[in-house]
Structures are given as C-alpha cells and as structure tokens.
Structure 1
C-alpha cells in the first residue's frame, strides 16, 4: 500500500504547519538542515512511501522503571558534559534507554511524540540485515554463494565474483562514491534514483535497480577491505526479495515487525519503481526502535518468542577489525563492521545501528543495555558529535551497571 502524498510536479511543497509564516520547504533540500528538524518526523508528507504493517497481535511489553539520568557526567575530548546538557545541545528528537529489559529513560523533544515515526537513515541497513539472518537460517540464502546466484543480472557489473557475505559486510570491492555533499557522486545519483530528489540529469538512473546495474568498476579485490557503500544493502535487499517472492516492506513486516510485536506500523520510502529503500528509507517510532534493540539484547527473542536465530545475533559481533580502514577509526578505534551492523569493540561485543544526521541504536548485551537516539543534526556526519553520543551512552550504561 503506497502513500503518494506529494505533488510530483512541484518544485517546492508546503510550509511547515507548526511554524506560521515559515518559508516553503525546497524540493531538493527537504532532507537537509534546517528543514530536517521537521521533515524527519514527516517523511511520508514529503516522498512516496509504503507501509510496514505491525500485524494484528498485541504489542510486546516495554516495562518502565524510570531513573534520573540528566546529572550523569562524562568526559569527551577534554571537556566535561552531562547527559541533560548533551540532550539539549545534540539536536535530539527522541532518546530512550533500556536496562535489564526495562525502559529507564524516555524523552521526546523537538515536537516528537511517542506515536511519531522518525526517519532512521542507515539504521534501515541493520533492519534489513536482521531479516537476512532469518532467511539465512532457513536456508533460503547462502551467505557463501555468489551474488549472481540470486541476481544473475549483476554478472555484467563489478559484483561478478562477490558473495552475499561480501555484501553483508560491505567488502565487495565495487566502486561506489558515498560522498553525500558531492553533486556528481553515486550518492547524488542515489538521491534521484530512490525518489528523494528531482532527476536533473537525463542520463542518470531512474530507480535503484538501474543504479546498481551501472556499477562496473572495482577498487580492490572482493573481501580485501571494508568500505562503507550504502548500495550494498540494496543489493542484499533485492536478493531477499528474489528468494522470498515478496516486496521488502512486506517481508520486513512478516518476518520482523509483526512477530516482534511492534506497537505501530513502520514505513519505507519507495523509489519510482516501487522498491522500498533498504539502505536508508525506514521510519518508525522511538519505542518500536527500542523493541528492535530489546530483540537483539534477548539474543533474537522477545516476549518469550524466538524471532531471529540466536546464532545470527551472536555472529553480528564477530567482525574482522583488520578490514576496518583508518577513516572509520576516528569514531570507532577498536571497531569493525559485520552483517550490516557497526561493532564498537570486538572484545566487549557492543554493536550499533547508525545513520547519518545522528541516528543511533547502541546495543551492549554484556551489560543488558541499549540506547536509541533519533536526531536531526545539521550535518550528515560529525565525528565529534558521534564520539560525544557514544561517550554519553557509555556513561549511562556504566552508571546503571554499578
């Protein structure tokens, strides 16, 4: 069920109704600052979307035992900070902390409410990776098989010879320019192909599948190094669609969102061909992102139901730090990437789902701790903000674990 709540011919859309007299939101900048402070909570008003149904069952419980966290202090880059000040200064929209199965903090800011869906950007990758684990356990997907076994059309691309595991780990070796602000990068083409921006270059792909088919160059051997390439998640998503015979949004609903006991429907943005954007178009409420975190803390089980294989959840933390490039170590000096998740520290085993503009789901099974932060930063990426967010959640974790 698609929601085409936009005027495709307009060069700009409507005024933010919460700000009388505010400028009209520009068509090609709706997902950028300052507009993202409003649009990340209203994405289905901006682009075409498709529903991820929560199903007919009861929502899985989220027991609440609130604790005061604002005064917790931490140090970052030589300065002292408190959680309260951090939440006020970090463009936070929603923040939730889980400890030992209970919600110990839950905050809504910038007009967000408990029922507001929020764009999570590349957190979507970890949603898709979790569903992949379910289908792999069933034998529908073999991570050691070539990508072309499932998508033979990619034999004419640089994905020839890459395995599903290479795609899961973003180690395929395919050239994909992830530069978010460059006007001629692959990411600029992705913005158009996925339906987020107007198509201004006639030769550019018209949808995500067409973009994948243009990737003909390699930068290194498959499996040689981790390079963050959003398109890898889309390749994985097309594999999941091919083996299941279902659109991605319906597959996520059937395998994850409904069985998990989500409280609200989620939704994906869709490209002009109707593909749900697996690499970054997922929207859900803060509490349902917390249920996703709780599912991971429970080794794939929630409310007594095994939804994701425990072995797959354990495998997420087994990334190879030797493949992790220096550019990523500024934020994660002991980090790795595996199965569509960021690993903070392979020794401790804490891992994360992350998205540009400050989206974060931090999961530490050893401490029975998770934190969800939904944000609308003015920047795509900011290493200082990322380090600060991680220091903040670690400080909360350490205080609760005393």
Structure 2
C-alpha cells in the first residue's frame, strides 16, 4: 500500500493488516475520537544536548543468528521514530515514513507503565494503600474480579477473570475493549458495554488474585479509577500535575476518551518521541530533572528490582512465541529484563518502547507501526537496544 489513508476510511481497516493503516491510527487519535490533553505546563521545554553518533553501520545478531544493521531493524519493525540518549545526550534521532517530531504518537500499552509510576508515587505519599482491596476506593466494583483484588494485584497483572461469562481470550477481549472506545468498530447488533466502567463491571474472578500473571487491560483501567478516586481529578490532570508539567516537555500529551469521558489509561496515551525520552531520562537520573525531584528516588531506582514476593519472577512477554524462554519479570506495570544492566521498559503493541538501562546510562524511545500477526515475526528491538548501549558504553 502507498500513500496515507483517509481518516474517513480508517474505520474499515479492522485488524490493521497494513503498516500504513497502523501508522495512520497511531498518529491521528485526536482526529478520530474524543481526547483530553495532558498539559505540559508553563515552564520552558528542557533543553536536551545533542552529539550525533553514526550508528547506521552498527550490526547485531538476533536470537536466530541473523545479522542486522540498524536500517534493517527499522524496516523489520516498521519504525516511525527512534531516539537514543546516552548519559543525558541525544546521540541518535531519526523520523521515518513522513512522521514528524512534533506530532504525538500513540504509546499503546507503554502507557500502562506511566499509570504504574503514578500509583507508586501516590503510595509513597501515603495516599494509596497497595494492600487495600480495590473496593475500598471504588465500591462499585464489589463482586467483580478487580474489586476483589488488592491494588498491588492490579499493579502486577495478578487477577484472573472472565468477562460476561466468556472464556478468557486475550486477543478477543482486546478487540472488545477497542469497540468500547470507538463505537464505529462495533459489529452490527452490538449490545455489550458502552464504556470502560460498564466493561469492568462484567469481570468475574476465575481464580484467586495474586497467584498468576495474566496480562489484561482491565487491571490498568481499574487502577486508573482507583487513582481518580484517591486524588479527585482526571487521569490527564494527575499525570500533568505530578509528572508532565514538571518534566520540561515540549508538547502537550493527550489521552483518548471513552463515551463517558473517561481516559483510556491502559493504552490511549499519545506523546512525542522527545518527550517520552525526557520521561525515561528523568527516571534514569533517579527521578530528577536537574535539581528538581519529580519521582521519589526510592521509586525510580527500584523499578527493576522491586518485584514483591508472591509474584512471578519470570513471565512471558505477550508478543513472544509460545516456545520462547520466559526471561522477563513484571513490576508496577513495567517489564523487567533481568539482564546485567538492570534494564526495564514500557512496551506497547506495534513496537512502542521506552527502554531504560541505568548501568548503561541509556534511554531509548521507539515508535513503530508494525503489524501484529503470527506471519510477521516481532522485530528484535531489545537485542538491538542492548547492543547499542554496550557499544556506546565502550566509547564508540
């Protein structure tokens, strides 16, 4: 396919079987459904020093033994934008397929990690009890799988549920969730939930919370409602007040909204590449931007090491092949790589990544529009990130 699809045609691209459709979707959320801005505040954008490095010829070997250059990786991943920061300096930045640096791009499920960060901050402030049942904050969830769980179970994808009595199927439930946010995606005769609130109310527990890892959007939406009840403000306002307006961001970010005006916290967040990289650099620097402490240092420095007892130390990444070794952990909605560099990342479908590696002094932000299909192998992004970091650390 060539050219840019029309917005009026976008709803016919169900399944998004072409990267061009995915790219149109990931860069035009505000034009297709209601949205609410995450205000960047009145401060001047934080100046980010740049010292370009030539990484184009850098080669790395995939787990299957194939050698790739960075350009080949971009092609395999359908990369839209890529930024590397090393020791606080941008050493590589590139935009492809006509995507522009000032345009917010969906972060997809990478946004889950930002909700986890907010929850950890509120818990550190004593406003949120991780061990409390969710119904303490959201009584309307009484009798649901999420209401019977603890806040900490939501933060670690520790609930087992089925929706409306259906056998749980992650892919199908994700599509049903999308139909809540975009009514035009609903099939003829649809009579299901019309809002995130109604969707959560249909979840029933099928197992004891905190005993098994199951990656599911409802955990994050229930957690976001908890945070709204604790603070009395919207998810957009909370993220702005606590982080975005203090980060030195260049642009407002935004969340898309469901028909009731509730933010899609688990994946409806969009921001520019540079601002996402600023977020990562703040975390890498122990939660500080210069002399301003944005996130408590105790939170920022323990993301990779803080998985509590009772939760799986090894979980499988959702896009990994079924026979792949389970090498990741999960903590406060962040993926933990368990590598020698204490790396962790926020990760979203289609290739969105915010990769932070404290021991390599490395932050990488990646936006992409890769089609998710068994016939399209996932690009080896993490292997490339670590290769870049080790080479930069060695002084190339």
TM-score calculated relative to the size of structure 1: 0.88
2:16 to 20, 27, 32: 32
Corresponding residue to 2:352 among 359, 365, 379: 359
Aligned to 2:335: 342
- Report the number of matched residues: 379
Q: CA RMSD in A?
A: 2.3
1:50 aligns to what SS in structure 2? Answer: strand
- Rounded to whole Å, the distance in 2 between the matches of 1:264 and 1:381 is 36
Matched with 2:312 is 322
**In structure 1, distance between residues paired with 2:27 and 2:7:** 18
* C-alpha distance in 2 between matches for 1:26 and 1:112: 17
In 2, Cα distance between equivalents of 1:297 and 1:199: 41
Q: Structure 2 unaligned segments of length 5 or more: list them.
A: none
What residue in structure 1 maps to residue 363 of structure 2? 370
Describe the superposition over 1:234-275 as per-residue Cα deviations: whole angstroms up to 9, x where unpaired. 111000101110011111111111011111000111000000
Shift of 1:202: 4.0
TM-score, structure 2 normalization: 0.89
The answer on whether the counterparts of 1:265 and 1:284 sit within 8 Å (CA) in structure 2 is yes
1:61 Cα deviation (Å)? Answer: 2.2
SS of residue matched to 1:385: coil
Q: Provide the secondary structure at the position in 2 that maps to 1:85.
A: helix
Q: 1:190 aligned to 2:164? A: no
Give distance in 2, aligned partners of 1:231 and 1:178: 13
> Secondary structure of the equivalent of 1:104?
strand
Residues 245/178 of structure 1: CA separation in 2 closer, same or farther (3 Å cut) = farther
Note the residue ranges of structure 1 that are not aligned, 5 or more in a row: 1-15
Matches of 2:43 and 2:346, distance apart in 1: 26
Secondary structure, in 3 states, of the residue corresponding to 2:307?
A: coil
Q: Per-residue deviation at 1:86?
A: 1.4
Structure 1 residue 31: Cα displacement = 7.4
Counterpart position of 1:74:
60
Q: Is the 8 A contact 2:85 2:364 kept in 1?
A: yes
SS at match of 1:374: strand
Deviates more, 1:68-77 or 1:192-201: 192-201
Q: Is the CA contact (8 Å cut-off) linking 1:341 and 1:352 kept in structure 2?
A: yes
In the TM superposition, what whole-angstrom CA distance separates every residue of 1:158-205 from its partner, at most 9, and x where no partner exists? 23431100000111223364533xxxx322221122236443344300
Aligned to 2:274: 287
Separation (CA, whole Å) in 2 of partners of 1:95 and 1:33:
23
1:62-101 maps to which residues of 2 (within 5 A)?
A: 62-76=48-62, 77-101=64-88
Instruction: Give the SS at the match of 2:229.
Output: helix
Alignment of 1:238 with 2:230, yes or no, is: no
Counterparts in 2 of 1:211 and 1:86: CA distance versus 1, 3 Å: same
